[in-house]
Amino acid sequence: MRRDLVIGVIVSALIHGGVAVGSELGKRHTKKVVVKEETPTVELIKMPEIPPDEPDVVDTGEPTAEVSPIAPPSLVDVPGVVQVDSFVQQIQPPPPPNMGKPTGTITIPTGPIRGGGGKGFGEIFDIKNLDQQPVARLQSKPAYPFEMRRAGINGEVTIQFIVDTNGDVRDPFVVKSSQREFEAAALQAVSKWKFRPGRKGGKAVNTRMIVPMVFSLNNDE
Residue 36's pLDDT is 52
Least confident of 12-26, 56-70, 72-86, 137-151: 72-86
212 by Cβ neighbours in 10 Å (0-12 / 13-18 / 19+) ranks as middle
Domains of the chain are 83-94+109-215 (3.30.2420.10)
- What pLDDT, in 10s, does the model give residues 40-70? 444 445 555 656 666 665 556 655 555 555 5
- What pLDDT, in 10s, does the model give residues 111-135? 444 434 455 668 899 999 999 999 9
What is the mean predicted confidence (pLDDT) over 1-28?
60
34 by Cβ neighbours in 10 Å (0-12 / 13-18 / 19+) ranks as exposed
Handedness of CA 101, 102, 106, 110 (dihedral sign): negative
The yes-or-no verdict on residue 212 having pLDDT over 70 is yes
204 by Cβ neighbours in 10 Å (0-12 / 13-18 / 19+) ranks as middle
Residue 131's pLDDT is 93
- Does 217 or 186 have the greater pLDDT score? 186
Residue 4's pLDDT is 64
- What pLDDT, in 10s, does the model give residues 158-193? 999 999 999 999 999 999 999 999 999 999 999 999
The beta-carbon contacts of 146-155 under 8 Å, at least 24 apart in sequence, are 147/181, 148/179, 148/181, 148/182, 148/215, 149/79, 149/217, 152/77, 152/217, 153/179, 154/178, 154/214, 154/215, 154/216, 154/217, 155/179, 155/181, 155/182, 155/214, 155/215
What pTM, to 2 d.p., does this model score? Answer: 0.47
- Does 2 or 185 have the greater pLDDT score? 185
